[in-house]
Amino acid sequence: MTEVIGRFFKYLLVVVLGAGGLVLALSHDRLHVYQSSLGETSPQITMRYEQLSVDMDEAAVRRHFTGVNLDCFGQPKEANGLGDRVCYAPIDAVDGNAALTLALFFNKGRLSVAVVHVPWWRHLGMKKRLLARYGEPGSGGVTDKGTPVLRWKLPNGDLDFIRDRDLNPLNWSGVVWLGKDSSR
């Protein structure tokens, strides 16, 4: 009997290690974010989504996020579909909820998109914070991969959040502010 139990646990260990290896292999492009998040102390910020504007240039964004060391670089808009310049910074928390990174995208020198990456294990906490702050979302949508999104309409743009957390614990969720052009 103990031989059967011992064999069962050996097989179980192999399956668990294999599944863990598969998750790591499928998430290798994200591991550097977790490594820097766990190895460094980064700022805790308040997003103030209502104060973001498509009229903000990079200098205004830097003033808005005082104390955050933004690393900015140009890139073809086709690379991400969000902007021709991106500013990126690791962050420890946003509005009291654990976070990984802040990414700000610019089009022709003006802010167009702001993204906060939230770790898998804090997805529900961020969802609760957004619901408490903005109320029930309006009609949502889906991502380009068909993932359901919660969407809040703000005067200055849309605020999107992935409705359900991913099954892979190394994948993160994103709070995405999509600026609304005030001239439209």
What residues make up the domain containing 149?
41-179
Model confidence at 9, pLDDT cuts 50, 70, 90, reads low
Residues 54 and 14 both lie in one domain: no
Of 31-40, 51-60, 110-119, 129-138, least confident by mean pLDDT is 31-40
**Which run of H or E residues covers position 158?**
strand 157-162
| Mean pLDDT (whole number) for 11-15 | 61
Residues 20 and 63 both lie in one domain: no
What mean pLDDT value characterizes the chain? 80
* Distance from C-alpha of 48 to C-alpha of 43, rounded to nearest angstrom: 15
Residue 64 lies in a domain: yes
pLDDT at 101 over 60: yes
| Mean pLDDT (whole number) for 4-9 | 67
Residues 2 and 56 both lie in one domain: no
Residues 82 and 2 both lie in one domain: no
Residues 123 and 163 both lie in one domain: yes
* Distance from C-alpha of 129 to C-alpha of 149, rounded to nearest angstrom: 16
Are the C-beta atoms of residues 42 and 98 closer than 8 Å to each other? no
Residue 63 lies in a domain: yes
Residue 131 lies in a domain: yes
Tally of domains within the chain: 2
Residues 48 and 122 both lie in one domain: yes
Residues 134 and 89 both lie in one domain: yes
Task: Say which DSSP state 33 is in.
Answer: H
User: What pLDDT does residue 146 have?
Assistant: 80
With vertex at residue 142, the alpha carbon angle to CA 137 and CA 143, rounded to the nearest 5 degrees, is 120
Residue 25 lies in a domain: yes
Are β-strands 93-94 and 110-118 bridged in parallel, bridged antiparallel, or unpaired? Answer: unpaired
| Mean pLDDT (whole number) for 61-87 | 88
Are the C-beta atoms of residues 120 and 100 closer than 8 Å to each other? no
What pTM was computed for the model? 0.76
Residues 79 and 23 both lie in one domain: no
State both tokens at 27. Answer: 């998430």
User: What pLDDT does residue 21 have?
Assistant: 52
* Neighbour count for residue 115 (Cβ, 10 Å): 19
Of 19-23, 54-58, 127-131, 134-138, least confident by mean pLDDT is 19-23
* Neighbour count for residue 118 (Cβ, 10 Å): 26
For 38, counting Cβ atoms within 10 Å of its Cβ (0-12 exposed, 13-18 middle, 19+ buried), the class is: exposed
Residue 92 lies in a domain: yes
Are the C-beta atoms of residues 68 and 87 closer than 8 Å to each other? no
Are the C-beta atoms of residues 106 and 52 closer than 8 Å to each other? no
User: What pLDDT does residue 26 have?
Assistant: 47
Q: For residue 49, give the 3-state DSSP assignment.
A: helix
Residues 80 and 128 both lie in one domain: yes
